[in-house]
Structure 1
Amino acid sequence: VERFMQTYYLHARTVQQVSARIVDRCTGTPSRVGARIRQLMGRDLGDGFTEIGREIHILPRHQELFAEDPVRLLKAFWYAQQTGFALSQGARDLIRGNLDRIDDAVRRSNRALGCFLAILRERTGVARILRQMHETGVLGAYIPEWGKLTCLVQHDLYHKYTVDVHTLLALEYLEQLDRAETTHAEEFQAIAAHLERPEVLKLAVLLHDIGKGEGHGHVATGRRLAVQILERMGLAPEEIAEVEFLVANHLVMAHLSQRRDLSDERMVVEFARQVKTIPLLQMLYLLTSLDIRAVGPDVWTEWKGALLWELYLKTHTILTRGIAEGVDDAARAAEVGTALLAELTAEFAPAAVRAHLDKAPVRYLLTTTAPRVAQHLRLIQRLEAGAEAAVQWAAYPMAGHAEVVVCAYGRPGRFARIVGTLTANGMNILSAAISTLADGLVIRQFQVDDGRGMAIGDPTAWARFEADLDRVLRGVADVRELILARRRDVLRRPAYKGRTPPPTRVEFDNVVSETHTVLDVRTADRLGLLYVISSVLSELGLDLSLAKITTEADQAVDVFYVTEAGGSKVPEGPRMEEIRRRLTEAISEGIG
């Protein structure tokens, strides 16, 4: 399918280019006398190029300029970038007619490399010029591996553009930073503005998907091809190594930020060890952001941006202070507990604070700020007054999500009921963090949006959720019925109309976390999915500490940090197979 669609788009592209040439010639051809006058009034740019009427022309007496020096095929675009003028249709036609002059000698030429890097070093106009080089065939002639990406379709619902268009869009977004209005846009701009060698980042963006022209496994292939291309160009070894690292790891930050526990310092430290330097971290952060933004409309969300920024900041802190060889969590937790006690006794009785902290797990102490602990203590006071559950919410419009904290004593299946009630109220769950105290109190913190990347700040909506949750937890209402009612009310297009939905995949990772088994579930997205999964985990006796929810087009990618009831990781073998089977069956059956 991908090859068929590539052939179709290549033919359509050819038709469009030929049509544009015909229109240009019909509308822009001056009279012979007028043309002569324009030539006399033209401004010589050098290398045989002349500016006439804000266009770059090649006069008849210079028609052999590319035969004399093939590097001028690249130089033409450097002049276009420096002047801001477009290449005339005649110049573009002459360039297309001389593409075969870009041979291996030109590709290995230091002068060609110097010209190409000069284009990349500019702050603006890089994406526009590379797009013109692509349209005329110069980019594919200079980098033959790039030619395989032309009109290459990615056969999934997630990627909306062909690989070449996606890549050039990513470069375009880099130049549009000054107009970005998203959270952390200023920080993004500052990082990009202070790069020592911006051309290294732009080479990485240009080549990050170069392996897709060879089929599956594009990261490993792309790494090899990037080195091959840059060595042929004659780039400095240290710059080749940097681009190689960026291409090889361009998916890592998105994976860690969206699907792993960012409060796990050991995980972040291991990532910092891989990155090694702050300049590489900065470029990898920028590359990751640009790559996600260029996938398609609405793929980038404020939530993804916030997670990515959190990983960047934590890694930057570790690289700045130096990577410690050992992390003593118990000692750090004791220090944090002492500091929290001192800070919170202004509002709460010292005995109450001390009792709460003594019952809290180490992870809670290491990841919970004093204002957050104070919030939890207030919710606990409401529970002690007789509430079934204590709820507090806050909307963060700039970040594109709302946060809700639910405090209640643990009961089997209670997390699933809370999740189901959120779903039934039209709240799209982005993540969930669970802290269980020694006395059975469970503090559950959710990040949610409205399904379109917007925060939910309507007090009426939250009051309705609290009322439904109270009814569900007291056994007055059936959460499954609430979800089914929601599904009937919401007009949802068939996710996989005319196609077979992807199979459910359940994978386990006992390495990335020292304390938990990480469960990755990838399946077709549907209303109530998280409720179904969390219900099965509860039935299997698994304790859930963290959930991170991602949707790629119509496919859900959900991650769960779980342990057995006694606190151990899930053992490999029959137990994992049982979990995989039960989840697959339940997801297939749905909720009715």
Structure 2
Amino acid sequence: MDPKVLSQDLSSSTQKDRALLHLEDGSLLRYCKRLYRLEMHRLRIRHWNGASGDKIAASRSTVIDAVLQMIWETVLSNLRKIGSRIGGSIPSLSLSWIALGEYGSLDLAPFSTVELLLLGKSTTKTGTVPELEKIAEVIKSIGFDVRLSILPPKECLQRAQTDFAFCFSLLSSRCVTGDEAIFQDFFHRFRSGQFKNRLVYVYELSELLKQQHNQYGHSVYLLESDIDRGAGGLLDYRALLQSVRLVIGSEGPEKIMAEGEITPLEWKHLGEARQHLLRVRNHLHWVAGERQDFLAHEVAGQVADFLGYKDGRSQKSPEAFLRRTIRHRKHVAMLLSRFSDQARARLRGVAEPFRTPYLKLVSTTGSTQEEQTPERWMKLFHFSQSQPMLLTVQLKRSIRTNLSKWGARDFNTPSMHDEFRAILKTKGKVGSTLRIMRDLGFLGKYLPEFGRVESLPQLDRAHKYSIDEHTLRAIEALDLLADSTDPTLHDYQRVLDQITDPSLIYFALLLHDAGKGLALGDTAGSERLAARALHRLNYDLESREQVLLLVREHLSLGHISQRRDIDDPLIVQEVSATVETADNLNMLLLLTYADLQSMGETAWSERKHFLLWSLYFKVFDRLMFGDDISEPEHAQVAAIQQKVLEHLGQEFDVDTILRHFLFLPEKYALYTPLPQILSHIRLCERLQGLPVVTEWVPHPHAGYTELNLSTRDLPGRFAQIASVLAANGISILSAQLNTRDDGIVIDTFQVCDAEGQAIVDPAYCDRVNQLLSEVISGEKTFDVLVESRFHHLSARQTSSSMIPRVRIDNDVSSQSTVIEVQTEDRLGLGYHIAKTLADLGLNILSAKLATEKNYAFDVFYVQTREGEKITSSFQMTEILERLRFKLNVA
């Protein structure tokens, strides 16, 4: 139903009942509640039947208008009665009911807060103030959230001068009921006096939107953000329209387009963006049954289904829906940014004429239309790396406007390719240039392999942004290394300086995820697209091979360092054989760092930094010295043993220290940090007749605590330790398990508390130590208590749609069978897996437990009781079935 027709129907129906309603006896409130509930139910039905977003938003505003008009008419009736009681005169209450913000602009979602201003003052001192208080009580009791202000015009203007958010809401104001004259007089004074300095308005608006974006979604490319107040959302839409109308001095779209602020095509796309965002927001509200403007992963599929999106060959329906949403938000944000830049430049008096008809080609002074070519634009992008002011607002608009006039052949010339490679070689300034090229649509036209992933989401929870934004942020992370003075980045900076041709790693980063735009969305697809682009851009054969290696292996160092036993010589040998040269290893290290940095706050940590560099050094040494322990490494082992003797020579005799090394593999000295070796020896000597001894070393800045532990080896020992830690709310991040030939276990765990922070409380550690001692000595059986705790937690946890995946691999390690588990992360997951493996008679030699957001990837290196790999297919099947069953139940 059209909102105007709805307004007429509501006015007609309420007119009949108005005479029977009274403010004092509560009949008015009951009637308004019933009316509002009924009309909202009808709106809900209309929404589910496919009504457009603007119709629902406008209709809800109309319903509230009708309710408020009913209240006002009843109040006036009561005031007449008051007048008769005090001598026959009717109190004069010059009151205007004004809708503000999204209510004023008819963008009101089903459960959005209604922003209402009662403007005016009474000329009668008695009787009317209580009436206003009663009005406020009734409005707040109807059933919708309301932000109500009751102000006289003077105070309202003063507040607008000091509170810009309120001032901005007033721009969307409209009179709902009451004294129309007081509203018109006030609004004229507000518009004429408040915006004399429009440059100040532009800056204050930018600051307001920046604050909102920082809180609700700073980028249009975020996969989870606020539809209303996030970047490119409905608030930005209202800001753009109100600001353009303020500058132009006209409400009509014809005048706005005639002035050249927005072209007809841009206006059409802007309307489509508003319709889409409103309908999505409406649906989020109806599904939640309350105000819900946050578009999260969990509901994207529901919204996509409701809007009619279907799975395609290369995209699932939620991805297609989110891609459309991102594109709409990009358009809103682009127009708002362009308007703000032009307005600031014009109001400062440093720009060309502000009003440029949309049909006139916008070009730099002195240039001709023939000069507006892709080849010339590429040169300008290159030059802008040293002279950013070359890319003016008008030039950017010209590129965007004229881009569609050129075909694929116009973007494939040798000179353009040379300029593009020159852009990629300018370390420190690549990301900002590519970002401008992407935002103008130029990069996707020049490099269609990248264009495939523009605005494309990836719903794997490890990524916060669309693929193109993730890629550009990775390139910008690499740029930061070039001139950074941060001492923590010095090692990466040193490696970057050693790269022979930095354009290769930048190009690899640019296309490392390009294959996600294909049907399979895998790394092999990225490699194929990269090969095609390299051929077209005339890279030499050696450079092509290097880039393709980086694209193909861009996940290797990260996955191996976090999920594999990097002390295993076979792992180091395989990585060395893959990278082949130190230059390739250096580029792969930097690519891994940049990729992880751009995935979100939780994707990078000090622990991952340590693991990545540990693997890097091991592979680098292998590349330099070969497969076996070389003479330099033998010397290094001897040097480490000598350092240990120097540190512990006063505490222990030489035989005790050397026996420790003799009881462990030769590589132990190379792959274990010196502080850990010292701790291990002290723990082993302290053990004596005790069941267990521990040492807790907190690393607060890295977010974990290192737990060194020594006890005697028995089957299921790891499960016992994991049970105690889990029952105390401690998560295991990784575990390095060593067993000496004399049966003494020396384990190192990286652990954190339930909030992901380091454990620093000594008293807490003492309690855990006591429980460890009681469980390992057999004084307590912890299984019952642990299972009870997990049952209590599982009752509060929501079920996961992720099916646990278990894989057994006998090729990764030369001495152990590797069992990989992927599932939803939960407290005690390591315990459940370890206990199941122990029940199956397997010994755990080492473990890596990695977590990304709420998903776990745990890897266990195991052997049979005879110290061999698992070779029986029957035993493998039993392991898979038992683990899958346990993980589903847990």
Q: TM class by shorter-chain length?
A: 0.7 to 0.9
Give the match for residue 287 of structure 1. Answer: 591
Structure 1 pair 222/263, CA: closer, same or farther in 2 (3 Å)?
same
Give the match for residue 429 of structure 1. Answer: 732
Give the match for residue 531 of structure 1. Answer: 831
1:362 deviation in Å? 5.5
1:571 deviation in Å? 1.1
Q: CA deviation digits over 1:220-242, x for unaligned, max 9? A: 11111111012111223222221
Quick check: 2:818–2:861 contact (8 Å CA) kept in 1? yes
Between 367-376 and 513-522, report the one with greater CA deviation.
367-376
SS at match of 2:386: helix
Which of 120, 129, 149 matches 2:424? Answer: 120
Quick check: 2:851–2:857 contact (8 Å CA) kept in 1? yes
1:490 deviation in Å? 8.3
Between 530-539 and 421-430, report the one with greater CA deviation.
421-430
Structure 1 pair 101/327, CA: closer, same or farther in 2 (3 Å)?
farther
- Taking the TM superposition and a 5 Å limit, the aligned residue runs for 1:165-176 are 165-176=469-480
Structure 1 pair 35/288, CA: closer, same or farther in 2 (3 Å)?
closer
Give the match for residue 532 of structure 2. Answer: 228
Distance 1:574 1:30 in 2: 79
SS at match of 2:849: strand
1:436 deviation in Å? 2.2
Distance 1:265 1:33 in 2: 65
Structure 2: runs of 5 or more not aligned: 1-317, 355-361
User: Is 1:240–2:544 an aligned residue pair?
Assistant: yes
Q: CA deviation digits over 1:97-156, x for unaligned, max 9? A: 322455444443221012112222223332111111001111011001211111111112
Distance 1:230 1:178 in 2: 25
Give the match for residue 690 of structure 2. Answer: 387
Which of 430, 440, 459 matches 2:762? Answer: 459
SS at match of 1:150: coil
User: Is 1:576–2:880 an aligned residue pair?
Assistant: no
1:517 deviation in Å? 0.6
Give the match for residue 406 of structure 1. Answer: 709
Q: How many positions carry a matched residue from both structures?
A: 563
1:524 deviation in Å? 1.1
Structure 1: runs of 5 or more not aligned: 38-56
Quick check: 1:504–1:521 contact (8 Å CA) kept in 2? yes
Which of 454, 457, 462 matches 1:150? Answer: 454
Which of 355, 363, 366 matches 1:58? Answer: 363
Q: CA deviation digits over 1:337-372, x for unaligned, max 9? A: 995797766642344445545544566566456764
Counterpart code for 2:718: F
Between 360-369 and 404-413, report the one with greater CA deviation.
360-369
1:201 deviation in Å? 1.2
Quick check: 1:170–1:205 contact (8 Å CA) kept in 2? yes
Counterpart code for 1:532: H
Structure 1 pair 118/351, CA: closer, same or farther in 2 (3 Å)?
closer
1:164 deviation in Å? 0.6
Quick check: 1:183–1:399 contact (8 Å CA) kept in 2? no
User: Is 1:83–2:387 an aligned residue pair?
Assistant: yes
User: Is 1:502–2:802 an aligned residue pair?
Assistant: yes
Distance 2:560 2:587 in 1: 16
Give the match for residue 334 of structure 2. Answer: 17
User: Is 1:310–2:610 an aligned residue pair?
Assistant: no
1:84 deviation in Å? 2.3
Between 152-161 and 115-124, report the one with greater CA deviation.
115-124
Give the match for residue 516 of structure 1. Answer: 816
Give the match for residue 495 of structure 2. Answer: 191
Quick check: 2:449–2:511 contact (8 Å CA) kept in 1? no
Distance 1:545 1:192 in 2: 36
1:373 deviation in Å? 4.5
Quick check: 2:709–2:748 contact (8 Å CA) kept in 1? yes
Between 225-234 and 458-467, report the one with greater CA deviation.
458-467
Structure 1 pair 33/328, CA: closer, same or farther in 2 (3 Å)?
closer
User: Is 1:415–2:732 an aligned residue pair?
Assistant: no
Distance 1:191 1:392 in 2: 35
Structure 1 pair 352/126, CA: closer, same or farther in 2 (3 Å)?
closer
Structure 1 pair 561/92, CA: closer, same or farther in 2 (3 Å)?
same
Distance 2:686 2:348 in 1: 86
Q: CA deviation digits over 1:253-304, x for unaligned, max 9? A: 0111011111112321221121111111111000001111111222111111
Give the match for residue 212 of structure 1. Answer: 516
Structure 1 pair 247/406, CA: closer, same or farther in 2 (3 Å)?
same
Distance 1:408 1:587 in 2: 28
Computing the radius of gyration from Cα coordinates, the structure with the larger value is 2
Give the match for residue 782 of structure 2. Answer: 479
SS at match of 1:417: helix
1:477 deviation in Å? 4.2
| TM-score normalised to structure 1 length | 0.86
Q: CA deviation digits over 1:16-59, x for unaligned, max 9? A: 3234344555565579998489xxxxxxxxxxxxxxxxxxx833
SS at match of 1:463: helix
Which of 858, 867, 872 matches 1:558? Answer: 858
Distance 1:357 1:553 in 2: 39
Q: CA deviation digits over 1:510-549, x for unaligned, max 9? A: 1121100111000111111111100011111101111001
SS at match of 1:149: coil
Give the match for residue 45 of structure 1. Answer: none
1:247 deviation in Å? 0.5
Give the match for residue 53 of structure 1. Answer: none
1:483 deviation in Å? 4.4
Between 101-110 and 440-449, report the one with greater CA deviation.
101-110
Structure 1 pair 457/12, CA: closer, same or farther in 2 (3 Å)?
same
Distance 2:803 2:576 in 1: 34
Between 444-453 and 75-84, report the one with greater CA deviation.
444-453
Quick check: 1:413–1:539 contact (8 Å CA) kept in 2? yes
Quick check: 1:260–1:559 contact (8 Å CA) kept in 2? yes
Quick check: 1:106–1:112 contact (8 Å CA) kept in 2? no
Pairwise CA RMSD: 3.4
Quick check: 1:361–1:436 contact (8 Å CA) kept in 2? no
Structure 1 pair 485/85, CA: closer, same or farther in 2 (3 Å)?
farther
Counterpart code for 2:822: R
SS at match of 1:205: helix
Give the match for residue 43 of structure 1. Answer: none
Between 235-244 and 574-583, report the one with greater CA deviation.
235-244
Distance 1:253 1:104 in 2: 37
Between 159-168 and 172-181, report the one with greater CA deviation.
172-181
Quick check: 1:65–1:72 contact (8 Å CA) kept in 2? no
Percent identical: 34
SS at match of 1:503: coil
SS at match of 1:82: coil
Quick check: 1:102–1:141 contact (8 Å CA) kept in 2? no
Counterpart code for 1:120: L
| TM-score normalised to structure 2 length | 0.58
Counterpart code for 1:312: Y
Distance 1:104 1:509 in 2: 47
Give the match for residue 2 of structure 1. Answer: 319
Instruction: Report which structure shows greater RCO (CA 8 Å, sep ≥6).
Output: 1
Counterpart code for 2:886: A
Quick check: 1:107–1:232 contact (8 Å CA) kept in 2? no
Give the match for residue 375 of structure 2. Answer: 71
